[in-house]
Amino acid sequence: MRRSRIGSRVDDVGARWSHVLASRLLSRQSMKILSKSGFTTIFIAAGILLLGGTCVTTYNKLVRLGQAADAQWAQVENAYQRRADLVPNLVETVKGAAAFERQTVIAVTEARSRVGQLAIPKDITTNPDAFKQYQAAQDQLGGTLSRLLVVVEAYPNLKATESFRDLQAQLEGTENRIAVERMRYNEAARDFDTARASFPTSLVAGIFGGRFATKQYFTAKTGSEVPPKVTF
């Protein structure tokens, strides 16, 4: 009886120790699983944060470059508007010249009218058709003004008037300013388009679709590549 009791106690102790050992092994395995899952979670969270930070930085960069291009576009519009404002005074001044070529004055007036009536959409810098239409109208006005100033050369009395000389100087200065502002706009548009086309910025730009559409550029007038003919 005693031996059987002792044997049963030994069995109980062994069972308890087996249970303890099994519990410890299970707890260690659980800790390993938890540690692995914890590292995985941390790794995934860090990746999401890094990706999110990159997207935010890229988005803000595109916004900054886009705003710079839009601000420079506003400067182009200001320069063009200054030229348009000078045209009426210039036309009234040259009208007083005797036998002045009426068709040239009419052409300038009509070109200026077309520029004034041109509807400019908000997305003009990313709208190819609207941009080309705007540039064509402005180039046409610039061309008629150039012809007007050429015709004026035949009227020394008109050229001698102080009001005309002042208007001519302002117009020439405005034309120079237009050229400078157009160049600066093209540079700002190039910086935006370059950043937009670069990887991984292009991925972020693609997500937002039209929000970051490519900018349009001013181009030389048709025929400007042909050198002028000089005759004596």
Percent of the chain with pLDDT over 70: 71
Q: Cβ contacts of residue 34 below 8 Å, gap of 6+?
A: none
Domain assignment present for 225: no
The two three-digit tokens of residue 135, written as one number = 């540039």
Asked if residue 200 has a cis previous peptide bond (ω within 30° of 0), the answer is yes
Q: Report how far residue 195's alpha carbon sits from residue 108's, in angstroms, rounded to the nearest whole number.
A: 40
The whole-model pTM stands at 0.75
**Are 133 and 121 a contacting pair, CB within 8 Å?**
no
Exposed/middle/buried for residue 90 (C-beta within 10 Å: 0-12, 13-18, 19+):
buried
List, as own/partner pairs, every contact residues 181-184 make where C-beta atoms lie below 8 angstroms and the sequence separation is at least 24, other chains included: 181/72, 181/75, 181/76, 181/78, 181/79, 182/76, 182/218, 184/72, 184/75
153 pLDDT above the threshold of 80: yes
77 pLDDT above the threshold of 90: yes
For residue 120, give the 3-state DSSP assignment. Answer: coil
228 pLDDT above the threshold of 50: no
Q: Report how far residue 128's alpha carbon sits from residue 219's, in angstroms, rounded to the nearest whole number.
A: 12
Domain assignment present for 85: yes
Domain assignment present for 94: yes
Apex CA 109: angle with CA 95 and CA 182, to 5°? 120
Q: Which domain holds residue 142?
A: 59-212
Q: How many structural domains is the chain composed of?
A: 1
The two three-digit tokens of residue 182, written as one number = 């157009």
- Residue 151's CB is within 10 A of a number of other CB atoms, namely 17
Give the mean model confidence (pLDDT) for residues 209-226: 78
Banded model confidence at residue 155, pLDDT cuts 50, 70, 90:
confident
Domain assignment present for 26: no
89 pLDDT above the threshold of 60: yes
Higher local confidence (pLDDT), 192 or 37: 192
Domain assignment present for 222: no
Domain assignment present for 195: yes
Banded model confidence at residue 55, pLDDT cuts 50, 70, 90:
confident
Backbone torsions φ then ψ of 154, nearest 5 degrees: -85, 0
* Longest CA pairwise span in the chain (Å): 146
CATH number at 144 reads 1.20.1440.20
Give the range among 30-39, 40-49, 131-140 with minimum mean pLDDT: 30-39
pLDDT tens per residue across span 93-131:
887 665 567 888 889 999 999 999 998 999 999 999 999
Domain assignment present for 35: no
With CA atoms as reference, report the closest residue to 161 among 63, 90, 56.
90
The two three-digit tokens of residue 14, written as one number = 């062994």
The two three-digit tokens of residue 213, written as one number = 């559409």
Backbone torsions φ then ψ of 140, nearest 5 degrees: -65, -45
Domain assignment present for 16: no
Give the mean model confidence (pLDDT) for residues 190-195: 96
